[in-house]
Chains A and B, each alone.
Chain A
Amino acid sequence: MSKPEILFYLSVFLLITGLLIVFTKKNAIVILMGIELILNAANLNLVAFNYNRPELDGQLMALFIILVAVCEAAVGIAILLKMYHYYRTTIPDHISELKEKW
């Protein structure tokens, strides 16, 4: 197998690992880690498909995906901190109410 093909299978593995983390873990921070893994799988796929081409548009696409992932992580952690401040937990299963509690 050539290098890009191995990286294709590695990105499939990272994608399904990230999905498994999002499905099974309870804590919201670990769910954020799973989302980072999924975005990394997309980046790895773009770079692998860009390897044999003289143009570099795949790499630039991956660059902008990294940027959006950073924004997502920052806003996600901020929302998590607010959620912990308000509900005293970071486990989404424990937050099952829509009504304000006063």
Chain B
Amino acid sequence: MILLFYLAAAFAIVATIFVITSAHVVHALVYLIISLLAVAVIFFVLGAPFAAMLEAIVYAGAIMVLFLFVMMMLNLGQATENEERSWLRPRVWLVPALMILILLGQLVFVLWQQQTDMTPVEVGVRKLSILLYGPYLLAVELASMLLLAGLISAYHVARK
């Protein structure tokens, strides 16, 4: 189980690095799907099977397909890819990457100080739905309103 966690973590990190460095949009999308599926495996290992399913269905399924449809509509050609390669020079990304590396180093340093072992307990869909329709009922309603607002505004913005 612990091996699966580290393997999926390595997959997620490598795929995410490929996402931010690749020049072709569709390749980056496929790498992003790999990264999201690896995170879904981590959720499963951590005893959150419902979150893992949601990650696979909503993120890797619906949102990525939405991206893919828009890429098909835009129909970006070779010219965009060449342009993208010319933007990806080290002098563009070196300074931001270095600064964020320092930030990440600080985060890792702080987290490395203590090692709390946890034995994941499976929190199933039953416990989750009791909470969702109990104390978090208002949040669920607000989420539905947010999705409705997103739907209407996406329709309005993308109209000709």
A binds B: no
Q: Which residues of A contact B (CB under 8 A)?
A: none
Q: Which residues of B contact A (CB under 8 A)?
A: none
